[in-house]
Amino acid sequence: MEASNPTPVPPIPTIALDDDEITIIDQTLLPTEERRIIITTVEEMREAIQSLRIRGAPAIGIAAVFGLDIAARTSVALSRAELLRELKIASDYLAASRPTAVNLSWALRRVYDRVSAEQTDDVAVLVQAVRREALALLQEDLEICRRIGEHGIDLISGGSVLTHCNAGGLATSGYGTALAPMYVAHERGVPVHVYAGETRPLLQGARLTSWELARAGIDVTVIADNMAATVLSRGDVKAVIVGADRVAANGDVANKIGTLGVAILAKTFGVPFYVAIPLSTIDFDTSIGADIPIEERLDSELTSFNNRPITPVGMDVYNPAFDITPAAYVTAFITEHGVVYPPFAKGLAAFRDA
């Protein structure tokens, strides 16, 4: 697609480093309040990830490695062995904050492995290496998002796009994954219209996707989750694009609860269903979706709304944060290295050592 009216959109500074100060946008406050909070301890970073102040698979990976950076900078370790042991403890602690998104453990392992591969006994050099690797990850994610957007743009032209949850700038350090094609299209002056599913119970679609797309000047319409069937049946949606928290080696997709329903609807109404991911979201050690751990969150997310009870006291609740969409429902994966069509086991395996 050619540029007709380029409109550069600056990426959202979801996580930022200024000197030694690490700040994040507190996403629990959006869209009514845009507030940055300073994270000064590993415990605060874990809490921020667990409580969804920062969320989205790539963003929590990046946040966690900045947590590792805090651990390194505040350490009083006098030897290489001592520092690496502390980093391992901090890494395990941060990785345990949310179980489903594989980007979290992937990012922590990558930084730890690279730092421990440094051939030095100088603790200060190792501490600097943690910072260097965290910044590298942040920068790479920015570029990966753009490449996903460029690979996805031709798939979305000529109609509306429906997305679920938030896989945008707030979930990454760049343009997002699922929202990246929309941002790139918008940048190039190509008209885009997005339906954002509200995403019960925590409303990432209604609160966050709508916020960031509107901020960028992209046309967005919020729908309740139970309206997806109606919208997809009308024929004006060109594609569904979602992100993912983990993709198994066979192409099964773990993403925000409700994604499976949207995928089934897309197939029913003949709408392509795309999953936009960085390669770091593929877990080659997990062969099928059924083996992906699914986070279950607090009952209170379902029993109350805006701090008001909406169920009888003591109601039994089932609150999985993610579901598994079988690979058979996925039209293609949009990655930073291009679009991957079935058979996915073979197509994804080609990236195993990328």
Tell whether residue 90 is a contact of ligand MRU (CB under 6 A): no
* Interface with ligand MRU, residue 255, by CB under 6 A: yes
In the block, which residue shows the tokens 């994954």?
A: 177
Give 211's Cβ-side CA count (13 Å radius). Answer: 23
Q: Does position 321 bind ligand MRU by CB under 6 A?
A: yes
Which residues on neighbouring strands pair with residue 241, listed in sequence order?
Answer: 274
* Piece in contact with ligand MRU (CB under 6 A), picked from 5-13, 108-116, 163-171, 334-342: 163-171
Under DSSP, is residue 226 helix (H, G, I), strand (E, B) or coil?
helix
Among 175, 255, 259, CA closest to 218: 175
Tell whether residue 56 is a contact of ligand MRU (CB under 6 A): yes
CA distance 326 to 271: 16
Cα 131 to Cα 33, 68, 112: the distances in Å are 30, 9, 11
Which residue lies nearer to ligand MRU by CB, 55 or 147?
55
Among 245, 252, 283, 323, the active-site one is: 245
Told to check if 61 binds ligand MRU by CB under 6 A, we report no
Q: Which of 11, 169, 201, 243 forms a contact with ligand MRU (CB under 6 A)? A: 243
Q: How many angstroms separate the Cα of 341 from the Cα of each of 274, 331, 335?
A: 10, 7, 11
The binder of ligand MRU chosen from 97, 160, 172, 210 (CB under 6 A): 172
Residue 258 as a binder of ligand MRU (CB under 6 A): the answer is: no
User: Binding string, 100-139, against ligand MRU, x = CB under 6 A?
Assistant: -x--------------------------------------
Is 245 an annotated catalytic residue? yes
Cβ-in-10-Å burial (0-12, 13-18, 19+) of 351 comes to: middle
Residue 99 as a binder of ligand MRU (CB under 6 A): the answer is: no
Partnered with residue 222 across adjacent β-strands are 196
How far is it, in rounded angstroms, from Cα 315 to Cα 153? 45
State the catalytic residues.
245
Q: Under the rule (CB under 6 A), what is the footprint of ligand MRU?
A: 52, 55-58, 101, 165, 167, 171-172, 176-177, 204, 242-245, 255-256, 321
